[in-house]
Structure 1
């Protein structure tokens, strides 16, 4: 956010040293690690922000259909897909979100996951799309795990945590010290060279710091380690909701993947129910025995409609003999969120989780995530978050420019640390708190501190042993 400037640096002969040098070194280390990730996250974030517009433009032939009088049932559409792809395993069905939109099936064919688009009126298959290697899926996976799974997720989490360190240390570096106005609240546009870049970097960073922290913190809730711990600590539902429901031993969050969001964050830690193979024999007329369950897809659609689930939801099909149908609406307005689980044999609703069941923290996080993704307030929200992404890109690029302009020959350009530097209690306390709240950041802070101390020790020993001229 801010950068080291000669005017703010402590004079070498000053008797009372300053904490500024140490803050700048931490800011430098954070930037050195974070900048590549921030550039990637900003670019992929902009792509995902405008998913509705990009999808409608790129895949209009797959998504839009002429409206007719009679729509085929979900079961009839399923039969058409299975006839066309007899060897494929259908994992998900997305009913048309509007009258002029196609239906979508997600299938696995010979190890490849495909999105199949079906005209719900004529039953014709409009085309297919690689579910894992289309623009939005790739952007989402890069944004979530760098296409390398758990290791990538941890790196993203570490980068977001260090991004918070970057903002906090940048605010300290920016904080006015006997000056105000030009160079603090607005850039000195008549400046040249490094001072001009420093002003733009610091001032834009200050004005955008609250939005930067918002983006980083809401993004952290989706990370695999800290996000999972946070969800486990704050997402609590009445246990009675599942008292009489058989459980699979899995969590509802198992329906999510890095390339596709299925269920809302608030319900990820809820139990995933299990279907009862004997339910068809327990008074649920109209369905066959458990050994030969009929398709209940249209029944699930009808029940979702009866229960007021808004269009735009997906239906995950049962996995295995104990799997369930799951209706999931991860709504742009989280007050419309819905997660329903159905027994695959009886069609009975096993669980129905809505906004009213969320706790206060879950409601705050879900609202924050929707703003983060640009979905809650339409185009205005998209443009605001795109502006934040551009701000992050500018801060990253200007930080690189500042480093390039001040780097010494043959070095990284880390400012020397005065070894008589006193401990600055407030700043040290802030760093400790951040390290405790974000354990991966805390562990990396200790590692970097140890490496920095060892490097300084090696330099002092080298200087002491060097022959004098």
Structure 2
């Protein structure tokens, strides 16, 4: 007997479950690490008050004096960054490399006391950020996160169709039937949490995708542009500003990641350009001069200063602000102190402004506690939907097999869904490639199963 040819909908049904089993662990991990990072301000103050808070005194030590104290205490270390106090009663912070270990070193800016240090990659927030962005395994982890996020969007679209309320009653689709038990109870939890959290989850996935190493980099390269004239007279290092970011520390904003990183002129300090500027014994302008430049240029507190690396490196002042309208990225020649580049919100294009605003909403920073609580609600909805989906699969899986639950036959082929899935595959190349792979494997397995059935019947 000839076996029926499976429709695209039948294939999509199986893909939905297989992809769900792949994506759900990632969604759970992203939600849990996201909650940790979401409440970073509160958790940091709770966990490290002795490092972050200091008694206020009449006058602060300048940045050069603080730097000298750190160099005296860690003569073999390479100092990477300086974070001036973000406000009164707050400590200053240096980031340095010491024997292959990156340290956060905290300094009392009023008394010059070293308050303590922490492993920059071993803090709760650093671990949560690295897990959230790359699973702590580098490029491979970044690609897996990107693939999971892309498939999350596919699951979201297909899930909305599969669980969209049908009929006049919204019970089970718009709100759970709390009196139900067993599989129906878990089905309602999955449907309702997915339905009400769909748009917010889509927002979270899309804004998160902009930071990925493959799709995010392509997206930034295509849409994130600045006038070329901004860099015409600026010596360039051949690097991009994204080189200042790392897996555990965000220095520059997404909008400026693709901008050129300028280079310093090693002869600038000998051309009379540094007259009147405090310089170190290496010919660099002093760190305090860079702090003064930030103040003169109106950069708000909370910024970091990345110190020059090599003889052509630059000082980079970067504020990745909670309100992106306050973002600032400045690069200074290390010898003359001249400002080589100054990029602000006014220089961002429409796409960059949209993405930066979305990222701040994603991280719960734009509207303070209200924004944090909203994003917490999204994370909890994702967790509820993911866990209930796993329970549903476990309850309906074919006995003795790691397979897909029986297909529902009361649903018609959804042609619009086919078009949407093809468009998503084109928009997200990793998803498209995996979609083709799954389709090929599914066809191969289905044909073998069909052949086996025909042999048995024969």
TM-score by length of 2: 0.95
Match of 1:225 in 2: 214
**Count of residue pairs brought into register by the alignment:** 453
Following the alignment from structure 1 to structure 2, what is the Cα–Cα distance between the partners of residues 80 and 289? 17
Match of 1:438 in 2: 428
TM-fit CA distance, 1:71: 0.5
Match of 2:297 in 1: 307
Following the alignment from structure 1 to structure 2, what is the Cα–Cα distance between the partners of residues 108 and 144? 22
Match of 2:270 in 1: 281
1:250 to 236, 239, 246: 239
Match of 2:323 in 1: 333
Following the alignment from structure 1 to structure 2, what is the Cα–Cα distance between the partners of residues 327 and 49? 24
Which secondary structure state, in structure 2, belongs to the residue aligned with residue 194 of structure 1?
helix
Which secondary structure state, in structure 2, belongs to the residue aligned with residue 350 of structure 1?
strand
Cα pair distance change 1:115/1:418, threshold 3 Å: closer
Following the alignment from structure 1 to structure 2, what is the Cα–Cα distance between the partners of residues 395 and 98? 41
TM-fit CA distance, 1:175: 2.4
TM-fit CA distance, 1:423: 6.6
TM-fit CA distance, 1:20: 5.6
TM-score by length of 1: 0.93
- What is the correspondence of 1:8-407 to structure 2 with a 5 Å cutoff? 21-284=10-273, 285-286=275-276, 292-407=282-397
Which secondary structure state, in structure 1, belongs to the residue aligned with residue 102 of structure 2?
strand
Backbone CA RMSD of aligned residues: 2.1
Following the alignment from structure 1 to structure 2, what is the Cα–Cα distance between the partners of residues 250 and 333? 27
Deviation by residue 1:197-252 (Cα, 9 ceiling, x = unmatched) = 10111112111100000000000000000000000111110111111110000000
TM-fit CA distance, 1:145: 0.3
Following the alignment from structure 1 to structure 2, what is the Cα–Cα distance between the partners of residues 311 and 287? 23
TM-fit CA distance, 1:282: 2.7
TM-fit CA distance, 1:378: 0.3
TM-fit CA distance, 1:467: 5.9
TM-fit CA distance, 1:342: 0.3
Q: Is the 8 A contact 2:396 2:405 kept in 1?
A: no
TM-fit CA distance, 1:29: 1.9
Q: Is the 8 A contact 1:250 1:271 kept in 2?
A: yes
Following the alignment from structure 2 to structure 1, what is the Cα–Cα distance between the partners of residues 11 and 244? 45
Following the alignment from structure 2 to structure 1, what is the Cα–Cα distance between the partners of residues 97 and 206? 35
Match of 2:455 in 1: 465
Following the alignment from structure 1 to structure 2, what is the Cα–Cα distance between the partners of residues 186 and 35? 22
TM-fit CA distance, 1:132: 0.8
Q: Is the 8 A contact 2:278 2:286 kept in 1?
A: no
Following the alignment from structure 1 to structure 2, what is the Cα–Cα distance between the partners of residues 275 and 335? 28
Following the alignment from structure 1 to structure 2, what is the Cα–Cα distance between the partners of residues 392 and 184? 16
Which secondary structure state, in structure 2, belongs to the residue aligned with residue 214 of structure 1?
helix
Following the alignment from structure 2 to structure 1, what is the Cα–Cα distance between the partners of residues 186 and 413? 30
Following the alignment from structure 2 to structure 1, what is the Cα–Cα distance between the partners of residues 79 and 58? 27
What stretches of structure 2 of length at least 5 have no aligned partner?
none
Q: Is the 8 A contact 1:281 1:289 kept in 2?
A: no
Deviation by residue 1:82-141 (Cα, 9 ceiling, x = unmatched) = 000000000000000011000000010111100000000110100000001111000000
Deviation by residue 1:338-379 (Cα, 9 ceiling, x = unmatched) = 000000000010000000000000000000000000000000
Q: Is the 8 A contact 2:24 2:386 kept in 1?
A: yes
Which secondary structure state, in structure 1, belongs to the residue aligned with residue 105 of structure 2?
strand
Following the alignment from structure 1 to structure 2, what is the Cα–Cα distance between the partners of residues 342 and 107? 20
Cα pair distance change 1:22/1:454, threshold 3 Å: closer
TM-fit CA distance, 1:296: 2.1
Q: Is the 8 A contact 1:95 1:312 kept in 2?
A: yes
Deviation by residue 1:2-28 (Cα, 9 ceiling, x = unmatched) = xxxxxxxxxxxxx9x987644432321
What stretches of structure 1 of length at least 5 have no aligned partner?
1-14
